[in-house]
Amino acid sequence: MLPVNRSRSQPRAGRSWPFSGMEFSDSRRKPHFLGKVITAVVLTALCIYILKQSPGFGGTSVFSRHDPGVTHVLVTGGAGYIGSHAALRLLKDSYRVTIVDNLSRGNMGAVKVLQELFPEPGRLQFIYADLGDAKAVNKIFAENAFDAVMHFAAVAYVGESTMEPLRYYHNITANTLTVLEAMAAHGVKTLIYSSTCATYGEPKKMPITEVTPQSPINPYGKAKKMAEDIILDFSKRSDMAVMILRYFNVIGSDPEGRLGEAPRPELREHGRISGACFDAALGVIPGLKVKGTDYPTADGTCIRDYIDVTDLVDAHVKALDKAEPKKVGIYNVGTGQGRSVKQFVEACKQATGAKIKVEYLSRRPGDYAEVYSDPAKINHELNWTARYTDLQESLSIAWRWQRSHPNGYGRS
């Protein structure tokens, strides 16, 4: 059988291809087609490169990596009153910030203000999550490259804690344990913990120093002390840098009027006295109720140390800057001045210019007569000193925000 000769003695007729409404022969089409292919490949490669640099490509983002010279701080409770002010300060100081909040006490309006102020990619992200969900918390830590945690998230009303103690132990103590476990699992080495002077209870001697015995008398203070104990016990066996800040009574708002305090209406009766004063001045409530006039103080009302929120967040930033591995710092954050509730009410009247009706009632459960700080340690070790110490001035700044935001972060 003869072999088949597959060669052709005659060339094949040129095949034509329709392209852009015209026909070209093979000899003319090949260079043009090849150029198109090369261009398409180059453009595709360029698009892939650009996408890879974009947040969210392949499930990753700028927040999931450590960048030289950038400190990424997780702010739990960053939609709340103090947490949002802390996030604002961190962003102003060029930190990268992730806010985690379940909005049970925080306000999405505060987050939107921050997003509008700092819209640049890689500056701020918000994650809606509950710290009581250990699986969700672990996922957040797994997907983000945090350098430090500022842990503000907590329910924080003394009176409410006496009525709902289990809620406070779960929200404060158990949730702090969950955050600490996630930090340990993912190698996050710095914790700035938001604590309270309520852990001291009612000391026999004033002012309160960091070595004053801790004997809390309400579930809020007890839950915070338990959380402190957990942190301190863990830190003994780790190389974590820990700063515990025990606040006194927080007042005020952002001096530039961008943020303020906007508690939910149903929580007003448990809130800070400043909020109640402003509500009375705005006519939201008929008057101010002062609980307790028979305390062993000069005018019979409680004495407290009122710290402006701007000073408070400054203390947090200084604590973050000074935090060192394998070291624990514990500091009182206050002015060192005690002012009575009656003095506070008079300052509020002056700040608002309103005639506020005051009703005096019996004591509130879980309250104590006199609490104010000795801030010498934080003055010396962190070079921090309260600057906004004029009570009426702090209230005037906060009043400007309240007056221009009668519905909080909602529509004015």
* Segment 250-278 mean pLDDT: 87
Task: Kindly give the pairing relationship between strand 328-333 and strand 241-247.
Answer: parallel
- pLDDT, position 17: 38
State mean pLDDT over 249-253: 97
Min mean pLDDT across 86-90, 95-99, 240-244, 265-269 is at 265-269
The predicted structure's pLDDT at residue 364: 80
Looking at the predicted structure, is the pLDDT value of residue 243 above 70?
yes
pLDDT at 208 over 80: yes
Q: How confident is the model at residue 219 (pLDDT cuts 50, 70, 90)?
A: very high
Q: Which pLDDT score is estimated for 406? A: 87
Q: What is the pLDDT of residue 2?
A: 42
- What integer is the mean pLDDT of 132-141? 98
388, two tokens: 């906004």
pLDDT > 70 in the chain, percent = 85
> Rounded to 10 degrees, what is the CA torsion of 121, 78, 408, 365?
180
Element (H, E) at 27: helix 26-53
Of 173, 183, 186, 84, which is closest to residue 132 (Cα–Cα)? 173
Buried b (16+ CB within 10 A) or exposed e, 125-162: bbbeebbeebebbeebbeebbbbbbbbbbbbbbbbbbb
- In residues, how long is the chain? 412
pLDDT at 12 over 80: no
Share of the chain above pLDDT 90, in %: 76
> pLDDT tens digit string along 281-316?
999 889 998 999 999 999 999 999 999 999 999 999
Mean residue pLDDT across the chain: 88
Return the CATH class of domain 72-404: alpha beta
Say what the pLDDT of residue 265 is. Answer: 73
* 271 C-beta neighbours (distance < 10 Å), count: 18
Largest CA distance in the chain: 126
Pairing mode of beta strands 22-24, 17-19 = antiparallel
Is residue 221 within a helix (H) or strand (E), and if so which, with residue range?
helix 219-235
Which residue has tokens 């993912």? 186
Average pLDDT over residues 241-253: 97
**Residue 31: per-residue pLDDT:** 56
In this predicted structure, the answer to whether residue 55 has a pLDDT above a threshold of 50 is no
Residue 246 has phi, psi (to 5 degrees) of -100, 105
Question: Confidence band (pLDDT; 50, 70, 90) for 38?
Answer: confident
- The string of pLDDT tens digits covering residues 308-356 is 999 999 999 999 999 999 999 999 999 999 999 999 999 999 999 999 9
Give the active site residues. Answer: 220
